[in-house]
Amino acid sequence: MLTLAAVLGALALALAWPVPVALARAAWPSRAPAVALALWEAIALAGGLSMIGCLLALGAAPAPSLPMALAELAPALASGPIPAGYGVLHIASLTLAAAVAVLLMLNLALTAVRAERERRRQHQLVDLLSDPLPGDPRTRVLAHPVPLAYCVPGFRTATVLTDGLVRALEPDELDAVIAHERTHLEQLHQLVRLAFRAWHSAIPWFPIANRAERAVITLTEMLADDGARRAVGSPALARAIERVGDAGESGAYPDAPASAASDAAMLTARMTRLGGGDTVDASLPRSARVAVLSAAAALIAVPVLAYAAMLGIVPR
């Protein structure tokens, strides 16, 4: 058990700081945003599992397996002394593991509930205040002078534009903006962002949580750009962004963290891709993509196998 605790602890530390910092500073994610997004998801999942697993393994160290440790300690919680071999460190580790797991799950549930309430409110306002775009009933237009576009996810989706945006853009530029927002909806980016938003709100003092959420937001924006580029082409999307800036970020996901510096950096990265620095065709070589995806799978496999060993499913 102590060996499992050491392995999971080392992995948790690596995924808490050096690995995400290196990934956030790397240049290749803009060439393969989908692959980079998968790696971020693996880092977050493996990091959480490793942190909790390390505490569980440390707390269950005196027993051959985690179920046996819990079976030995359960009676002591009600009426008896702590069994021989267990101490304050073991009890504290198991308690902290349970507390962290409950915190993360409850925060995810609360974030999802808040997001659902916001989506319902947005849909009600859109239905009340907007009209269908002529020739495209799936897109709604709000009577507002500020150029803005955003998407409202959920079981019933909506792509929302303001008439200020419609007047500001040429037809092909408007098509590019609509394709961008619909790519967000089709690829379910709201679910990925929600998970990282919940992680960040659960541990707001942890700098990597904020870094990870901003990186995920940038990658989903790049993926939406790629959807628009395939539908309309890069020039039209680049001109639309130049005319109105990033019209969709704040509207689509109002709970996303934002700052002038981070938004400017994201906009610069997107415009670099659209300007030819990175194109859809200039993706990572197949071997590199396979290597990154294999690393992501391995990150998740390590804590999963460790949990299986703690439960006695596989031999240690």
| pLDDT exceeds 50 at position 250 | no
- Please choose, from the candidates 266, 273, 108, the residue with its C-alpha nearest in 3D space to the C-alpha of residue 192: 108
In the chain, what are the domain boundaries? Answer: 1-86+285-316, 129-283
Q: How confident is the model at residue 235 (pLDDT cuts 50, 70, 90)?
A: very high
What is residue 247's predicted lDDT score, i.e. its pLDDT? 57
Average pLDDT of the chain is 90
Question: Cβ distance 205 to 253 under 8 Å?
Answer: no
Highest mean pLDDT: which range of 233-237, 242-246, 255-259: 233-237
| pLDDT exceeds 60 at position 254 | no
What is residue 19's predicted lDDT score, i.e. its pLDDT? 96
Q: How confident is the model at residue 255 (pLDDT cuts 50, 70, 90)?
A: very low
Residue corresponding to tokens 């021989």: 84
What is residue 246's predicted lDDT score, i.e. its pLDDT? 59
Q: pTM for this one?
A: 0.92
Question: Cβ distance 228 to 176 under 8 Å?
Answer: yes
Question: Cβ distance 154 to 172 under 8 Å?
Answer: no
Question: Cβ distance 189 to 223 under 8 Å?
Answer: yes
Question: pLDDT (tens digit, 9 = 90+) per residue, 77-120?
Answer: 777 788 889 999 999 999 999 999 999 999 999 999 999 999 99
pLDDT (mean) for 282-308: 94
Task: Enumerate residues 6+ apart whose C-beta is below 8 A from 312.
Answer: 64, 65, 66, 67, 68
Question: pLDDT (tens digit, 9 = 90+) per residue, 186-228?
Answer: 999 999 999 999 999 988 877 788 889 999 999 999 999 999 9
The percentage of the chain sitting over the pLDDT mark of 90, rounded to a whole number, equals 75
The percentage of the chain sitting over the pLDDT mark of 70, rounded to a whole number, equals 92
- Please choose, from the candidates 315, 312, 310, the residue with its C-alpha nearest in 3D space to the C-alpha of residue 53: 310
What is residue 205's predicted lDDT score, i.e. its pLDDT? 77
Q: How confident is the model at residue 284 (pLDDT cuts 50, 70, 90)?
A: confident
| pLDDT exceeds 80 at position 313 | yes
